[in-house]
Structure 1
Amino acid sequence: MNEHDAKTANAVLKEYDKESDTMEYTGVMKKIVAFIAICFSIFQLYTATFGVLDAQLQRGVHLGFGLALVFLLYPTRKSWSRHKLHPFDLVLAVLGAAAPAYIIYEYQHLVLRAGLVSDVDLVVGVLGILLVIEAARRVVGIPMVCVVLAFLAYAFAGPYMPGVLAHRGLTVGQLVGHLYYTTEGVFGIPLGVSSTFIFLFILFGAYLESTGLGKFFIDLANSIAGWASGGPAKVAVLSSGLMGTVSGSSVANVVGTGSLTIPMMKKLGYHKNFAGAVEAAASTGGQLMPPVMGAAAFLMAEFVGVPYIDIVKAAVVPALLYFSGVWLGVHFEAKRSKLKGIPREQLPQFFTLLKERGHLALPLIIIVYLLVSGYTPMRAALVAIVLAILCSCLRKSTRMKPIEVVQGLEKGARNVLGVLVACAAAGIIIGVVTKTGVGLKLASGLLTLSGGMLLPTMFFTMITAIILGMGVPTTANYVITSTIAAPALVQMGVPVLAAHMFVFYFGIIADVTPPVALAAYAGSGISGGNALRTGVNASKLAIAAFIIPYIFVMSPVLLMMSGMAAELVLSTVTALCGMVAISSALIGYLAADCKVWERLVLVVAGLLMIQPGLATDGVGIVLFGLIIAGQLKRRPKAVTE
């Protein structure tokens, strides 16, 4: 990647990923920020090694470090200097550290008061909540702030709300006491997970990135798929899927891999709108890929009440089906447009790559093994962090220097800020929901709207999750959708894990669903294409994400929740065949160019094969086979003509 492409990628990242748009200090201020970030990481490593503190103490220190760094790194206004700290931001940074510190200092007295809020408590609590909201505005974005403010307004406006939405209303003291001085609000489960599991996995990802694992993934994808039809597009799908195992942002994934793969796709002959869409769809899918799932996997384990490894197992088959759908889309587009791959002699050699840099992936393999073996996520992440550093030392070309190990501590602390603030802000939403009972009321509203039928309920829940997920990062996205939308499915008898996975999928796919499709906008920013058309193309490529959730709700075997291995294999194979049919219908090519009626039949056949059941699978396979036979029969004529 040349210097111009690097500058373009960096500008796109800062425009569409608020977490990347930080201050650029030099001199003493740079060292001060680095020192605070390193201390943050050391605290997290220390408590993970020797035992976490009481819930509010652990989460209070975590939030204090996070708010201080946010106000030091993210200016109040975009127009302010990025090289000099504004006094206003300095004041907010001090207050950001002080507000959670008050809980730590007054912890024993707060416990003894048992929920009674003094005047000082009230002032500090209001200040703390406002600082969290302001931090969310800077790091997460306006959509998240709007949702938080809407819920706060609802807490006060209960007596004036119509119908089932009405409640007695809350005073400022009641609300602040609940949101700031219990573990039901700001310091609730999301921040608790952030202060334990999530931080360590993000620190692990920072070290993996420092070792050059991202470049290794792209080179490995090139060696596997670069030579095939439409090679660079398949490289984008494969590398984004690999990066998704450790990445926590679809936009960052788009820019990280897309800055290399999108120019390659355009050079090969893909239209710029399609090139950007491929990377957007693949990178968004990275948030669905275990073991991290954009850091939402840990939250889901806590919310659903199952072991973390069960979440990982449940996510495997749907994620593979999603990436298969995107892969098939780019394959059929390459065949339709007669696009070839990159000559093999220009590509890295697979076994040479494994020999030279394959050791970089060992920590990722080992952490999965540890999780399967029964290690807690926290212990597995600790071991993996150490292994990431040690494995980099196996070869001189990848060895991390001592200063790079220290810089990894700083980078991990910086990378966690978006998740930390999103979790704290999401805690406010959960706090209002638990205090007012609005979650069940919204679920009842969805059920009333759908007439108590499962499919309409799923459809309205899907729309709700997509709207709530627009412009919101993965962790906050999941918290909001699982709190507001998932209860409706649970009331219909859907297994809790399936309901949470359903809303998670549709919240994530909002990143490529117009009009607010941040991943597609980032992809178009690199490709130079039209953002809306890129989003439409990305939605077509990501069609699996709009279909698969319906299937695993109706057939939880895909989530490995029930059924025999044979049933899982059969369901997976027929679902893959269905994805082939639907992808070819959307692109307009299977074995040859598709006629309009053939595309319609392929859609029907695909849906029948994805729908669990021997009868539907049989009819779908027959229809699919007839279309293939007809296209193969006319292919020689097309060639001779």
Structure 2
Amino acid sequence: MYVRKVAKYLNESAALCLTLFVIYTAVVGIRVDMIQRGMVLLFVMIMVFSAELSKDKINYLVKGIIALLMITAGYSLLYQVTNFRQIAVSMGSINAFEFFLGAALIGILLIATKLTIGWPIVIISSLFILYTRFGSVLPGMFRHRGYRWSRIISHMVTGTSGIFGTPLGTAATMVVMFIIFGSFLEASGGSAFFMDLAIALTGKSKGGPAKAAVISSALMGTISGNAASNVVTTGTFTIPLMKKTGYESHVAGAIEAVASTGGQIMPPVMGAAAFIMAEMMGLQYSIIVLAAIIPSVLYYISVFTMVHFEAVKKDISSMSESEMPDLRETWKKNWHTLLSIVVLVASLAMRYSPVKSALFGIVTALVCSYFRSHTRITPRKLLDALLSAGQNVVGVAIACSCAGIIIGSVSLTGLGLKISSIIIAASGGNLLLALLFTFVTLIILGMGMPTAAAYIMVATLVAPGLIEMGLHPIAAHMFCLYGAVMSSITPPVALAAYAASGIAKANPMKIGFTACKFGLVAFIVPFFFAYQPALLWIGNATEIVQAILTSVVGVVVLAACLQGHARVKVSLPLRVIGFIGALALMYPEVVTDFAGLVLVAIAMVPQVFKRKEKTIDMPKLGG
């Protein structure tokens, strides 16, 4: 009992220190890389192992080992932070003591990753370490000269090429600040307002709770960017409501899972991978946000219309008046909670750094919470928000640190260029085949792994090859991001589907496959913006407007064909014709747009003249 209390106190203290440290550096200026990243990883390591110590049914021997691991990792990180200048001038040369500390840190990081995330990224990172050491014995193009353990440890630990590289640097600055912003917005009642607003807007239409799940998850995604946490946050309320109004359990879980997954590609905040993308490409974050707008809107239009046609097909009723909040009253009481998001977006638009923009948003959320008594952030709420933010950083920071091992191996061995050459050779120079290989790789690597880690691996290994084949750099990296995001709902390991299954009381595999159907557009759109980057705001105004208009029509028709129902039932031959037409419309070229419009007209115009079997309504936002 005493150990658990101490461990809990240590965990909360580390979380609070991490949050305050990052806020402090956002105000006075980010510290040098090794200090900023090392201190954040130190607090994260303490949280990981103190959380293990607080668990029941662990004997004292195991607790002693966990404590020893935590102390060793802490000492190693403090040594790196306090001696980074001395280590830097040694030009990669380390003594026996530094070798021991570095090796221990890598091993303990792998253990912490397994405890936090699971085995997949641990196994992959370990294989990369072994490849770096023993690559000299491999045949063919994978062969390299091989490196001694001292060189590997030095490369991975003593500089910013490995564990302390760009991914952890991004997590220790931008990602943490936006997580803090999300915690403050939630503490001020912003997330509850999103939910009430979504229900008030959609509740009177068919399948209202499902549409509310789509809208609220999109809104929550702008401040969270984590699929599983979005499911838990909004799904606790929306999934039971969907089941109550007639949706099957697995369908309700799938709708919430796919809606929450889209939050990772929903501006202005998106997920951790978007910040890492900006850093890896050397671009302003606002450019990534701009590129993500059209694809993310297409995603949610598709999911919303899929939900509507599902409600029409199953004749699912709307919500009763007693279950719905009043729109005018909801807005009147809580509109001020949106001001922090307005400030955040405006700051990004004015080209303030993401860190400063998030800081302005945090301060605004805190100040605006005092506009109404029911949203006021009391000292208790403030402490809870700071603790929650620190604890929510753990998964991202650990994943980014472990992914740094992979990046370190790639940079030391030159593996990235070799993988790119293999993809180009295997595809025979065919871009479509190369994109298919890449997307499948992303789905496989993303199973059970955070989006950020999956994106980092594939963007490091594959994106250079796609760019070499002619893809626009933003299109290549955005393609990698989409594949990593969709792994959250792709069986057999679909984290968002698993999170939804616990609430929906349904089979996670069934939820995952159904979610893939509802989110099919997210599997398709990346291939189109790879060929025609007008969907990423790259091109002239005419191309962009044409791409937006035809793609919106395309995703709506695509939803109708997948559901086999629009105004009334769509026959199988017309579904096939409409599906092909929708794909043609989503490829922004004059010839394909014309062909798509003809095929869509053949498939959908009969809907106007067919007699309705039941009284139904078309998609709408409220009464």
2-structure distance, mates of 1:446, 1:253: 35
The match for 2:565 among 582, 589, 592 is 589
Change (3 A) 1:163 1:331: same
Q: Over aligned residues, Cα RMSD in angstroms?
A: 2.1
Query: Which amino acid in 1 is paired with 2:152?
Result: L
| Pairing 1:590-609 to 2, within 5 Å after superposition | 590-609=566-585
Distance 1:227 1:85, change over 3 A: farther
- Alpha carbons of 1:74 and 1:536: their partners in 2 closer, same or farther (altered >3 Å)? same
TM-score w.r.t. the length of structure 2 is 0.95
Q: Which residue of structure 2 lines up, in the alignment, with residue 86 of structure 1?
A: 63
2:49 paired residue number: 71
Q: Which residue of 1 aligns with 2:621?
A: none
Give the deviation of 1:37 after TM superposition: 2.1
Indicate the residue corresponding to 2:202 in structure 1. 225
Whether 1:248 aligns to 2:198 is no
Specify every segment of 5 or more residues in structure 2 that has no aligned partner in the other structure, as ranges. 616-623
- What CA deviation, in whole Å up to 9, does each residue of 1:445-472 have, x standing for no partner? 1111111011111111111111111111
Structure 2: how far apart are the matches of 1:429 and 1:496?
21
Q: Which residue of 1 is the match for residue 147 of structure 2?
A: 170
Change (3 A) 1:38 1:498: same
1:69, distance to aligned residue in structure 2 (A): 1.6
CA contact (8 A) 1:592 1:632 kept: no
Paired positions, count? 615
Residue 441 of structure 1: CA displacement? 0.8
Contact 2:578–2:602 (Cα < 8 Å) also in 1: no
Q: Distance in 1 between matches of 2:137 and 2:64?
A: 41
In the alignment, structure 1 residue 296 sits paired with structure 2 residue 273? yes
Match of 1:35 among 13, 30, 51: 13
Q: Distance in 1 between matches of 2:55 and 2:27?
A: 39
Choose from 372, 386, 393 the match for 1:416.
393
**2:590 matched to 1:614?**
yes
Report the equivalent of 1:395.
Answer: 372
> For structure 1, which segment, 301-310 or 402-411, has the greater mean C-alpha deviation from structure 2 after superposition?
402-411
* Paired AA for residue 583 in structure 2: L
TM-score of the superposed pair, with normalisation by structure 1? 0.92
- For 1:54-203, list aligned pairs within 5 A: 54-74=32-52, 80=58, 86-203=63-180
Matches within 5 A, 1:291-330: 291-330=268-307
Give the Cα–Cα distance (whole angstroms) in 2 for the partners of residues 278 and 450 of structure 1.
35
Instruction: Give the 5 Å matches for 1:296-375.
Output: 296-375=273-352
- Distance, in Å, in 1 between the alignment partners of 2:36 and 2:503 is 41
Deviations 1:211-240 (A, max 9, x none): 222211111100011111111111111111
Counterpart pick for 2:549 among 556, 573, 585: 573
Contact 2:258 2:515 (C-alpha < 8 Å) held by counterparts:
yes
Distance 1:164 1:182 in 2: 28
> Does residue 498 of structure 1 match 2:472?
no
3-state SS of 1:342 partner: coil
**Partner residue, 1:557:** 534
Aligned-pair CA distance for 1:25: 8.6
CA contact (8 A) 1:284 1:519 kept: yes
* d(CA) in 1 for partners of 2:11, 2:196: 34
Determine helix, strand or coil for the equivalent of 1:69.
Answer: helix
**Which residue of the partner structure matches residue 277 of structure 1?**
254
Taking the aligned partners of 2:560 and 2:298, their CA distance within structure 1 comes to 15
> Paired residue for 1:381?
358
Kept in 2: contact 1:291–1:297 (CA 8 A): no
- Alpha-carbon distance in structure 2 between the residues aligned to 1:76 and 1:516: 28
- In structure 1, stretches of 5+ residues that fail to align are 1-22
Partner of 2:610: 634
Distance 1:72 1:117 in 2: 30
Q: Where in structure 2 are the equivalents of 1:438-457 lying within 5 Å?
A: 438-457=415-434
- Distance change in 2, residues 1:139/1:28 (3 Å): closer
SS at match of 1:511: coil
Is the Cα–Cα contact under 8 Å of residues 160 and 166 in structure 2 kept in the other structure? Answer: yes
Give the distance between the partners of 1:402 and 1:343, measured in 2 at CA: 38
Cα distance between partner residues in 1 of 2:308 and 2:34 = 51
- Give the conservation status (yes or no) of the 8 Å contact 1:287–1:508: yes
- CA distance in 1 between partners of 2:7 and 2:483 (Å): 42
Q: Distance in 2 between matches of 1:229 and 1:142?
A: 43
Q: Is the 8 A contact 1:393 1:399 kept in 2?
A: yes
State the alpha-carbon separation in 2 of the partners of residues 346 and 52 from structure 1: 47
| 1:20 alignment counterpart | none
Amino acid aligned to 1:234 = K
Query: Are 1:265 and 2:242 an aligned pair?
Result: yes
Q: Using the alignment, how far apart are the partners of 2:526 and 2:56 within structure 1?
A: 39
1:569 aligned counterpart, secondary structure: helix
Give the Å deviation of 1:284: 0.7
3-state SS in 2 of match to 1:184:
coil
Q: Is 1:591–1:635's contact at 8 Å kept on the other side of the alignment? A: no
CA shift at 1:29, angstroms?
A: 4.4
In 2, Cα distance between the equivalents of 1:297 and 1:459?
22
Alignment of 1:426-575 (within 5 A): 426-564=403-541, 566-575=542-551
Q: Distance in 2 between matches of 1:194 and 1:25?
A: 30
Q: Matches of 2:612 and 2:93 in 1, distance apart?
A: 82
**Letter in structure 2 aligned against 1:633:** F
Partner of 2:28: 50
Q: CA contact under 8 A between 1:61 and 1:100: conserved in structure 2?
A: yes
Say if 1:69 and 1:93, in contact at 8 Å, map to a contact too.
no
Letter in 2 for 1:67: M
| C-alpha deviation, 1:637, in angstroms | 7.7
**CA deviation map 1:7-29 (0-9, x unaligned):** xxxxxxxxxxxxxxxx9997554
Name the aligned partner's letter for residue 86 of structure 1: K
